[in-house]
Amino acid sequence: MRLVDGAAKPGAKILVSGGSRCNVTNAVVTERDYWGGRRTIIRRVLSRLPVPQTIAFFESLGVPLKEEATAKLFPRSDRSRDVLDALLGAARELGVTIMPSTRVHRVSPAADGFDLETSQGPLRTSSVVLATGGLSLPKTGSDGGGLAIARGLGHTIVPTTPALAPLMLAAPGIHERLSGVAQDLELALRVDGRVTERITGAMLWTHFGISGPAALDMSRHWLRARLQGHEASLTAHLRQGQLFESVEAAWTNTAAQHPRLALQTALAEMLPASVASALLDSLGLDGTLRLAQLTRAGRRALSHALTALPLPVHDSRGYSYAEATAGGVALEEIDPGTMESRKCAGLFLVGEILDVDGRLGGFNFQWAWSSARTAAEGLARSA
């Protein structure tokens, strides 16, 4: 068995994941943590290697995992290098020949398998597993080459977009003065005027726009809506779970109880002080204003901003900064019991190349492990 990799050093995406700690999986993983192809298929594949077996597998390789408060699982050593070294070491022990710096240009069906045209010369093999990733982080080797090979072998490619990517906001905007500030909030996506997604969590303001878990998880939904030609808009709910009416009533009550309290002081009790200051400036409200002096129009404008602050997204930062790819090989064209292609016998497809993308937190790695295990069992049975 040969592992052919176009990169000089295999596993670069493992090394950079999770802040170089490698978020191996999550304590709880279900098909509801994914988008793309049919969830019934995703559920079946995940069941072939569920989380407890994943933990046991890495334990057997000498990489015990630890669960953090967020339910993410990392190697106890906090070193992604340990994960990669263990996987490569296990492959070598099983007699796998690792061929780095070997770019596959073409895969052609042959009478007894496949002919591969590579940068190091031709290869012949009885079966092929495409585990090339999608388009995210192209410097690590996932530059779309695998998608081109799959298309050439008869597969349908669901149009791709970045996923888990930072979002860029139009300038000028309050994000420019809040770079580095994080806060918990809810993001709401409206598609053609109707709310289609709500995601809560931490968001990070940046010099170009927004990042952090909530923004990264939302990115694929905004990008897919735009890809499909819909009008998409994003708002931030800075007061999670509260409606405009309740927020406005709270301001009225606070003003009655503390009429001399400065607006900036009152708002800074709800939000990071820097966010409070930037928000008031954007609304043209004087932070030194006493609550008793706040006009009805000012109170309503502030309440609207706290419950639906427009975030003028104009794009993501692209595949170079995306942690995953949405879209890919149509999942219905794969046998979920083996990961073998329904279009080309002897061809197996796993991981991010397929039309499956998970939310932030180890879910995309779990899909990679589970789909790879399913393919390995399918290969063993076919052999």
For the whole model, what pTM was predicted?
A: 0.94
Averaged pLDDT score across all residues of the chain: 96
141 has pLDDT over 90: no
Domain ranges within the chain, ordered by starting residue: 2-162+323-382, 166-317
The residue that leads in pLDDT, 111 or 82, is 82
DSSP 236-305: EESSTT--HHHHHHHHHHHHHH-TTSBHHHHHHTTS-HHHHHHHHHHHT--TT-BGGG--HHHHHHHHHH
Helix, strand, or coil (residue 8): coil
Average pLDDT over residues 316-328: 97
pLDDT for the residue 220: 98
> Averaged over 59-67, what is the pLDDT?
98
* 209, β-bridge pairs: 168
Topology adopted by domain 2-162+323-382: FAD/NAD(P)-binding domain (3.50.50)
What confidence tens digit (pLDDT) does each residue in 165-211 have?
999 999 999 999 999 999 999 999 999 999 999 999 999 999 999 99
State the pLDDT at residue 160. 98
Task: Say how many Å lie between the first and final Cα of the chain, rounded.
Answer: 12
- Residue 382 reports pLDDT greater than 90: no
Predicted confidence band at 95 (pLDDT cuts at 50, 70, 90)? very high
In the prediction, which pLDDT does 324 show? 97
pLDDT at position 14, please? 96
* Phi, psi of 161, deg, nearest 5: -145, 160
